[in-house]
Structure 1
Amino acid sequence: MGTASSTVHTKAIHLDVEGKIQKVIFSHLSSPSDVREALSVAAGALRGEVVTLVDQVGNPVGINPKMPANSESFPYKVIVVTDEEPGQEKHLQNVFVEIAQHLSRVLGINDFKEELSAKLDVLERRMDADRLRATEIARCTEDIKKLRLGYVCGCVTPASSKRLTPRRDIPTYPKYTLSEETIEALKQPTFDIWQWAPNEMLSCIEYMYHDLGLVQEFNINSITLKRWLLCIQENYRDNPFHNFRHCFCVTQMMHGMIHLCNLKDLLSMADIAVLMTAAVCHDLDHPGYNNTYQINAHTELAIRYNNISPLENHHCAVAFQILSNPESNIFGNTDTELFRQIREGMIELILATDMAIHGGIMQEFTQCVDNFDYENRDHLRSLKQMLIKCCDISNEVRPMEVSEPWVDCLLQEYFMQSEREKSEGLPVSTFMDRDIVTKPKIQIGFIQLILIPMFEAMVKLFTQLNEVMLQPLRESRDRYEELKQSEDAMNEVMTDFSPRTRVA
């Protein structure tokens, strides 16, 4: 009697060959060379020509039995090129042949891991240095992925697994060598986040994970780290405020807090990983409209999470959907129990960014801060919640020229929401109504009522924050009070000169 494992599954690939649609069918038991040969025949490639595929947006598609199936409506574009520069490709092929020969000779894979990893690292550096053609990068990366996932990690990606992937599945953002000045600035709350391009922000976050020892501690694969960061970036929307630059801002502030407060001496490496990764993921796929709108408008998110922190629950879900894919799981080499702890910690911190529960978090921390005990799990949980909140809403501790653009971005998002609420007949939050809100007024209230009390509580535990964070907040409040006085005076003048109705 046959078994389920004996069933042969077929896959259909549709190709766009100079405007004509060609259909190729092969089984999951086919070898990569069989698949490539079948596609080459369908594409009409001649001897000495190399066939490569790209998807609808121009991303290269790896040719192998596990390549994604497609439809006639969305065929892969065929690119046939003459192999005019065989030297480099031949050298890369020789490297893979040598690796295959080693694998065939070795009986135990554990003894071969270090040598295989070294060869792959050399190959990856050569690929970056020589800036190989897109077709070569796609081919080599596909082979590297199979070697790493299939042999080193011992894990295979299920064909049915859901995944959120960036449009650029191959880690192609350029490497930046950070200067000593930049490395030191990354540790400070005065860091100017506006001068960095998206690729540079990715490189800075990548550096932070190396700097804090997280890459070494959790055996994070360098390619996986890049792919994860790209996937994170792709899943932040292009909102005025809640965007990838805000993610970078909060992550950089967390990195600075860890250094300023010497948290590596006080917390475990798992705690450091939770703090940093929660900061990176804390606003994933934010739609630009807050929880109040979600609940009042009865959106899908509000219904799904029963009006309980719908956005924050969604950020968590997206974060762990990304991590559920082995190709982008930076914690893929940790044991099950440790990953469970990291997951629980991240969920706890991301949910803590909901301003609706700010008062409860503040109350819990103020009750324990005077007798804080790092061995007490409740005290540690309260501290980590305060840290993520401080980083999430601490733009005002930066210099005015750095912090004020954030206020403009936030107000733009607020006004977008209030206009939508008015158009849909929903209650309008007064602090978002452009007819009522002014920048000085909203900033004075937020700094005085939320930020200063929060950092005053944190200073009791970390006195070094007084000069670098609490004092700048007080100065920022004073500057906005001066601006408010100027606005009030101008409004009085305008009122005095406004037309008056004459009384007969």
Structure 2
Amino acid sequence: AGAQKGRVYELLRSSSRLKLFSERAVRLQRLLEQLDSWDFDVFQAAETTGGFPLFLVAYNLMLVHNVIAPFGLNETVVRKALHTIEAGYLRNPYHNSIHAADVTQTMCYFISKPFLLPYVTALEKLASIIAAAIHDYAHPGVNNNFHVAARLDLAIVYNDRAVLENFHVSSFFQLMRRPDDNMFATMDADMQKQIRQLIISMVLATDMAVHFDEVAKFKSKLIQVRRDMGRDDVGPSTPSSAARDDDGRKRSTASIAEKPRKKSVGNVASAKEAPARRTSFIKTAADTDLFLRMALHTADVSNPAKPIYLAKKWTEMVVEEFYAQGDRERDLGLPISAFMDRNTGNVPKLQLGFIDFIVKPLFEQWASVMDEVAEVCLPQLLDVRAYWSREQEAGARKGSVGSADAGSPASRSARADPGSPASKLRIPPAAAVKEEDSMDAASEGSEH
């Protein structure tokens, strides 16, 4: 993987624009060195690449996890497909290629840890990277509830169920029917069927409508897992304190390089033998499928568990998109969804509900079996929660319901705000892509 990374850097340095690309290569190298860190700054990746963070993250994770050569994938087609996928993400304030890159990086953080790494096959790793990369492919910037309430075409096509999740994965596999973008073309029919089912399963699990059912299955499985691990008397771990820099950036204590790793699968045949490597607590492919579904869902809602300077950026972006949807609902005469009315927006309440009812229970479950989550992720989530609690108290003292940073009614969509993070994206047309260049309320308001 190191040699492959070096080849990427050399390609950059060999450009005729040597000085520019040499400087960028240094910044890219620093970013790639942090690719396995919970504190990875995907906004820097977007800025450094000129608006192509998803390609940077997904392609290099495919190299790190060695999932191109073992399956005989055509690297040129893989690169082309990743660029086309990135181009398919719209310039939404939140659901854009920065979010896709962040979820992809976070997904790989989970599957790279000792609890899962030895038991995830090469095919499952490849499926995980692609599922994360395409989980919001071509997202229109409004959620499932809006599609159903407005009786939009997608709601009719998908019968009001998992409207966007079905749309994302279906659109991706439509893309895979194009020879120039079909990265799976070299796989045999059985393997193509397997990876398709894995991707569908993971992406559909990001639908917030199935959140509580999925979490219930996860909790039930983890009771068995903790018993098999000798932690039968232990619930979700209590987070330990962690060192932070003065600017609030917490130094990650776990990385891929620091943990023992299973040797990468060297060929497709050996990848098929992976079921023999199941442990006493991950007994079947169905068990792994559950963990992969929950890993992607957790990655999708992980923003509040990131360092505060990243968590606040994500909040600003999602609130912009929520308010834009609320504006459309008002214009159409529809009921305005919870937390999406810019005139009554209460950002601290939105975030506290999201954390308490959706995010925190997920991370507490992971923390009960993954030390890295207990030591790194959960403490940061609690720090972010404390921040929003202080903001809520400050707002109450001022008699204000909004947040001065992200909840202001003056907040507008990225299209109208050239200074917003999403506005910095440079997404070319797909045809021109080139490599060079309350519980219910909380659930509804958190739909991704």
Supply the AA of the counterpart residue of 2:309. Answer: E
Query: Which of 295, 305, 311 does residue 397 from structure 1 map onto?
Result: 305
Matches of 1:350 and 1:273, distance apart in 2: 14
Alpha carbons 2:13, 2:25 under 8 Å: kept: no
Alpha carbons 1:176, 1:200 under 8 Å: kept: no
Query: Which of 180, 183, 189 does residue 32 from structure 2 map onto?
Result: 183
Matches of 2:24 and 2:196, distance apart in 1: 29
Supply the AA of the counterpart residue of 1:184. Answer: E
Matches of 1:325 and 1:406, distance apart in 2: 34
Which residue does 1:192 correspond to in 2?
41
Question: Higher strand fraction: Structure 1 or Structure 2?
Answer: 1
Aligned-residue CA RMSD (Å): 2.5
Which residue does 2:73 correspond to in 1?
220
Aligned with 1:306: secondary structure?
coil
Alpha carbons 1:370, 1:460 under 8 Å: kept: no
Alpha carbons 1:254, 1:279 under 8 Å: kept: yes
Which residue does 1:257 correspond to in 2?
110
Matches of 2:59 and 2:400, distance apart in 1: 52
Matches of 2:117 and 2:192, distance apart in 1: 19
Given the alignment of the two structures, is residue 414 of structure 1 paired with residue 322 of structure 2, yes or no?
Answer: yes
Matches of 2:131 and 2:384, distance apart in 1: 27
Deviation at 1:344, TM superposition (A): 0.6
Query: Which of 324, 342, 350 does residue 195 from structure 2 map onto?
Result: 342
Given the alignment of the two structures, is residue 291 of structure 1 paired with residue 144 of structure 2, yes or no?
Answer: yes
Deviation at 1:473, TM superposition (A): 0.7
Unaligned residue ranges in structure 2 (runs of 5+):
1-6, 18-22, 226-280, 402-448
Matches of 2:11 and 2:318, distance apart in 1: 44
Alpha carbons 2:103, 2:133 under 8 Å: kept: yes
Which residue does 2:295 correspond to in 1?
387
Which residue does 1:459 correspond to in 2?
367
**TM-score scaled to structure 2, two decimals?**
0.69
Matches of 1:296 and 1:365, distance apart in 2: 31
Which residue does 2:129 correspond to in 1?
276
Matches of 1:456 and 1:130, distance apart in 2: 47
Supply the AA of the counterpart residue of 1:264. Answer: L
Deviation at 1:226, TM superposition (A): 1.3
Matches of 1:285 and 1:309, distance apart in 2: 15
Query: Which of 363, 381, 387 does residue 216 from structure 2 map onto?
Result: 363
Alpha carbons 1:186, 1:255 under 8 Å: kept: no
Query: Which of 162, 180, 205 does residue 309 from structure 1 map onto?
Result: 162
Identity rate of aligned residues, in percent? Answer: 28
Supply the AA of the counterpart residue of 1:325. Answer: R
Query: Residue 128 and residue 331 in structure 1: after superposition, are their counterparts in 2 closer, same or farther (change >3 A)?
Result: farther
Alpha carbons 2:89, 2:139 under 8 Å: kept: yes
Which structure has more RCO (C-alpha within 8 Å, separation ≥ 6)?
Answer: 2
Deviation at 1:217, TM superposition (A): 2.1
Query: Residue 284 and residue 303 in structure 1: after superposition, are their counterparts in 2 closer, same or farther (change >3 A)?
Result: same
Matches of 2:26 and 2:12, distance apart in 1: 17
Aligned with 2:398: secondary structure?
helix
Matches of 1:471 and 1:206, distance apart in 2: 30
Given the alignment of the two structures, is residue 443 of structure 1 paired with residue 351 of structure 2, yes or no?
Answer: yes
Unaligned residue ranges in structure 1 (runs of 5+):
1-121, 133-173, 494-504
Which residue does 1:73 correspond to in 2?
none
Matches of 1:127 and 1:237, distance apart in 2: 27
Deviation at 1:318, TM superposition (A): 1.0
**TM-score scaled to structure 1, two decimals?**
0.62
Deviation at 1:263, TM superposition (A): 3.0
Deviation at 1:261, TM superposition (A): 4.2
Alpha carbons 2:127, 2:198 under 8 Å: kept: yes
Supply the AA of the counterpart residue of 2:72. Answer: N
Is 456-465 or 283-292 further displaced after alignment?
Answer: 456-465
Deviation at 1:175, TM superposition (A): 9.4
Cα offsets for 1:81-123 (capped at 9, x unmatched):
xxxxxxxxxxxxxxxxxxxxxxxxxxxxxxxxxxxxxxxxx9x
Alpha carbons 2:54, 2:100 under 8 Å: kept: no
Cα offsets for 1:296-331 (capped at 9, x unmatched):
111000000110111111001111111112211222
Deviation at 1:202, TM superposition (A): 2.0
Deviation at 1:378, TM superposition (A): 3.2
1:57-76 → structure 2 map (5 Å cutoff): none
Aligned with 1:431: secondary structure?
coil
Cα offsets for 1:451-484 (capped at 9, x unmatched):
1101111122212211111111111111110111
Which residue does 1:44 correspond to in 2?
none
Query: Residue 382 and residue 204 in structure 1: after superposition, are their counterparts in 2 closer, same or farther (change >3 A)?
Result: closer
Given the alignment of the two structures, is residue 204 of structure 1 paired with residue 42 of structure 2, yes or no?
Answer: no
Supply the AA of the counterpart residue of 1:472. Answer: Q
Matches of 2:324 and 2:197, distance apart in 1: 34
Matches of 2:53 and 2:129, distance apart in 1: 18
Matches of 1:383 and 1:126, distance apart in 2: 37
Supply the AA of the counterpart residue of 1:379. Answer: D
Matches of 1:412 and 1:358, distance apart in 2: 24
Deviation at 1:184, TM superposition (A): 3.2
Which residue does 1:480 correspond to in 2?
388
Supply the AA of the counterpart residue of 2:81. Answer: W
Matches of 1:201 and 1:362, distance apart in 2: 28
